[in-house]
Amino acid sequence: MNLLLNLILLSLLVFSSNCGSKNKNENKEVSIPKSGDINFEIFVNNLEVPWSIVFTSGERVLVNERPGRLRQIINGKLENNPVKVFNDVKSGSEEGLMGLTLHPKYSENKYIYISYAYEKNDDIWVKVVRFRDNGYSLDDEKVIFDDIPAARFHAGCRIKFGPDSKLYITTGDAGDREYAQDLNKIHGKILRLNDDGTIPADNPFSNSPVWSYGHRNPQGIDWFPGTDNLWSTEHGPSGFDGPGGGDEVNVIVKGGNYGWPVVSHNESREGMISPVLVFTPAEAPASGMFYSSGKIDKFKNCFLFGCLRGNGIISVKVDPNDKTKVLSYEKIAQDFGRIREITEGPDGAIYFSTSNRDGRGKVRDGDDKIYRIVSQ
């Protein structure tokens, strides 16, 4: 009888520890599966569709939640109050509060850049806005770039500074796929701007922000460490606008035409650049980053991205002698659900977010979460 009573009390204690208030993030799961020589840990719980993650220091993380909240995590704890709530965010399907990046001189000027969708004249648009980060609030708001066509689908919009200190912005075709080939439109493009929103003089097309074109919906960009070799991930057609699948990994070159909607999947045409990887069935790649730290040796200089539909992380090994070619790739699949953002922390761990509360996933207890990958 005493043994039975002790078991009941122990069960109640475990249930209580896992069912605390929404803002308690200090609990760590201990039954997360391992994968070879890496471990997975929960960093924080109870986010809602975390789209972008940046580290402002080793102790502080900023996270965009797609419905319109900029959250911060300090010393591994999610703060209750958002740094900012964007009341004008439009978030009905794939669009919302999306890209987030730091100015290359953030330590000096505290500038952060945010992209988000909003409604104007019964249409959906995306703008990129710069703020000064004061820790628990933002000020000095300045619109850097506006009137990016968006929609409930194919809205982009990843933003990131390159090694040239220019701001790169990915845009979706916003459902008007023919405009991806039109250099007078900014649908389906990767854009390149100065940090103040002006157009660099060395862009490939005169007085145009366009860096590359012929994209459907790129959502991940990063550069091979120590080089200016830009890689991207891109969603392929969904059936209504072409055969399903055809998700891409591309190496982006200045002024390059990546074919959409003229070609997709493994099709090719003269003057159009083919992807280095194509995934059919669809994986729905939603991010992209090169891992530069040596803390997890197997990922050194690999290109990693989260998969929404594919429910995993794909790691691409790049040829060190030709940093535009793929040697191999592997999928790291665990039962975490839909995965969106992935980034490297100052500690050398890899951080990634789930997107199970986006209306398309299976919601698990404590979702959405940010996990970290560490070596064993």
Residue pair 70/83 in contact by the 8 Å Cβ criterion: yes
What number of CA atoms fall less than 13 Å from residue 146's CA on the CB side?
A: 7
Token pair recorded at residue 297: 């040796």
User: DSSP letter at 323?
Assistant: T
Which of 365, 224, 362 is CA-nearest to residue 302?
224
Q: State the virtual CA torsion across 113, 119, 125, 130 in degrees, nearest 10.
A: -10
Token pair recorded at residue 288: 């992209």
CB neighbour list of residue 40: distance below 8 Å, 6 or more residues apart? 32, 33, 34, 334, 336, 371, 372, 373
The reply to whether the predicted model has a pTM over 0.75 is yes
Q: How many CB atoms lie within 10 A of CB 145?
A: 22
> Which region holds residue 207: left if phi is over 0, alpha if psi is between -120 and 50, else beta?
left
Pairwise CA distance, residues 153 & 19, whole Å:
35
Which of 57, 48, 51, 50 is CA-nearest to residue 23?
48
CB neighbour list of residue 365: distance below 8 Å, 6 or more residues apart? 18
Pairwise CA distance, residues 366 & 354, whole Å:
11
In the chain, % helix, strand, coil (3-state, to 5) comes to: 10, 40, 55
As a CATH number, domain 40-375 is 2.120.10.30
Task: Give, for all 376 residues of the chain, the pLDDT tens digit.
Answer: 443 444 333 343 333 333 333 333 333 333 455 566 899 999 999 999 999 999 999 999 999 999 999 999 999 999 999 999 999 999 988 899 999 999 999 999 999 999 999 999 999 999 999 999 999 999 999 999 999 999 777 777 999 999 999 999 999 999 999 999 999 999 999 999 999 999 999 999 999 999 999 999 999 999 999 999 999 999 999 888 889 999 999 999 999 999 999 999 999 999 999 999 999 999 999 999 999 998 999 999 999 999 999 999 999 999 999 999 999 999 998 889 999 999 999 999 999 999 999 999 999 999 999 999 999 8
Pairwise CA distance, residues 355 & 265, whole Å:
26
Token pair recorded at residue 209: 């922000």
Token pair recorded at residue 164: 């040239």
* Span between the terminal Cα atoms of the chain, in Å: 41
Specify the amino acid at residue 156.
Answer: G
Domain boundaries, the chain: 40-375
Q: Which neighbouring-strand residues pair with 84?
A: 70
Q: How many CB atoms lie within 10 A of CB 328?
A: 10
